[in-house]
A and B are shown apart, each in its own frame.
Chain A
Amino acid sequence: MSEKQFHSIHITRDKCVGCVHCMAACPTKAIRVKDGKARITDDLCIDCGECLRYCPYDAVHSHTTSFAALDAFAYKVAMPSNVIYGQFGSATLPSEILSALRRIGFDEVYDLSSICELNNAATEEYLNENPRPRPFITPTCPVVVRLIQRCYPALCGQILPIEPPREIAAKILRTILPKALNIASEKIGIIHITPCSAKMVSINSPATLNKSYLDGAISIRDIYPQVLKALRKSHEDELMRHLFPETQFSGIGMGWSLSGGETRGLKKHRAVAVSGVRDTMRVLDQVEAGLLQDVDLLECTVCPDGCVGGPLEVENRFLAKSRILQLVDAAGERSVVDPKDVSRLYHKNFLSFDHPATPVDSHPLDADPARAIRKAKRREKIFGDLPRKDCGVCGAPDCRTLADDIVRGLARLEDCPFVKKEKR
């Protein structure tokens, strides 16, 4: 493959015992176990984090920004995913979490719910102006964009070309902060706080921007202990703060981290929300077959239940979801964004992609179609000889993939323990 792709998911060789859990869980069949260690094929990996969830030996790690790396910036801004509001139990208010982040070293902290609402209004406007194609697919989950580029190239044109809230928020801050603070833009570090490592991929190799407006992403899991400590220390403030109602959060934007949250605020359009990587693939298969054309917007997030099911959060997703739903209920339909402002930004193309997401090289069996066809025939024949136990002992996730690897020259028939036995 041409250029080296950035990936946030890596396998720690020392911890890997060579079992088959990650390999079986990988939705794009990107993992093979060779010489007793799991290996990820870069071209096939979409950074969904399924392997991270399923590894029983903690051998899959994700690369996110370290807290120490923030020292490089003179002014540090945190922009946490709304998922963070569900991490500290139901007695902790969002404003307390934001001020705890300030106390642990960020100069400023911005809530994203208002920008989520902004995005919602822009989406509504885009759908009004563009009656075709249908459905558009939301680009908020960077894994979905990568999945479409690699496995559903025909759908690249159906990705809704409006940047997700984290990038829009960072772009707004990049525009106003250097002037307001009189600090050079490169000295201002804008950091997302994330429940998944895929955001790191979209920051380092953005699919639809020339350059990300964010400088990094710290995982909720990494920052959790410090935030918790800061929250405990400020117990007295907490009591005080509870006496004031919060006003700055958007009711429409608050639920964005839950599946269906991105589309809840749409008034005039039919939206469908899908979550989980396998269900997302199932529905994208249907869209590729021409279905769901009566749906205006398809919200896809590869984590179960939406971002709230991200692999790098701390609280279990059911509790986190319940807490966020409480906050959504409390905020109601509260709107904090003026649609006229959104419209202005929208028509200035401030919210748009720099360029569309384009298909990433597919992997046919051979670059030459005639040879690829012959290989496909051979593959069927080989598959017919395999035991179809999908045991993974050969190092491929299932018999079909082993047959595929064999015709691509990546594995041998003898790798199958059952074939060997029969020959003896």
Chain B
Amino acid sequence: MAADAVFRQEFPLKGGNFAKAGAVALLIKDLLKDMGLDTKTIRRAAIASYEAEMNVIMYAWEGRVNLAVTPREVQITFDDKGPGIADIELAMTEGYSTATREMRELGFGAGMGLPNIKRNADVFHIDSQSGRGTRLEIIIRTNGHRA
């Protein structure tokens, strides 16, 4: 594969910026469509990146998203400065959520975020330091037929 066939872009995120919630996931989705990836890969990337973006917006102070696309895979990394996740295993439990009442009233915080991201990713890595921040790395493999 040619070395230059990697598309990279970085997107900044701001904690608490609900007005722009989901905007980065949308940009990523449109980029993947333009790059001709298959529909299923795009859908998985859209769902996973939306959930991850919302986690940063709801809980962190700031963050950035790094997207890297090759014909074989989509790699998305979310880095944030924020409170971190004290117990990742607990956070991975479906239905577990630390969302406030306000967040739930907005329709968030059903406790499905991380499990949902994991379900839609082929590779899922999460690293968090309490009081510092969280790094989430996901890889979604394309079905490869188009390449």
Contacts and interface: CB of A to CB of B under 8 A. Distances in A.
A290 B46 contact: yes
B71 interface: yes
25 contacts: A285-B29, A288-B29, A290-B116, A291-B107, A294-B107, A364-B35, A365-B36, A366-B36, A367-B36, A368-B36, A369-B36, A369-B71, A370-B2, A372-B35, A372-B36, A373-B5, A373-B7, A373-B70, A374-B4, A376-B31, A376-B35, A376-B69, A377-B4, A377-B7, A404-B34
Contacts of B22: 285-286, 289
Contacts of B47: 289-290
B146 interface: yes
B35 to A, nearest CB: 5
Nearest to B51: A290
B19 interface: no
B99 interface: no
Interface in A326-364: 359, 362, 364
Interface of A: 153-154, 285-286, 288-291, 294, 359, 362, 364-374, 376-377, 379-380, 404
A289 B5 contact: no
Interface in B16-52: 22, 25-26, 29, 31, 33-37, 39-40, 42-43, 46-47, 49-51
A373 B33 contact: no
Interface of B: 1-2, 4-7, 9, 22, 25-26, 29, 31, 33-37, 39-40, 42-43, 46-47, 49-51, 69-71, 107, 116, 142, 146-147
Contacts of A285: 22, 26, 29
A289 B33 contact: no
B50 A374 contact: no
A154 B39 CA distance: 6
Nearest to A407: B34
A373 to B, nearest CB: 5
Nearest to A362: B33
A154 B50 contact: no
A366 B1 CA distance: 16
A289 B46 contact: yes
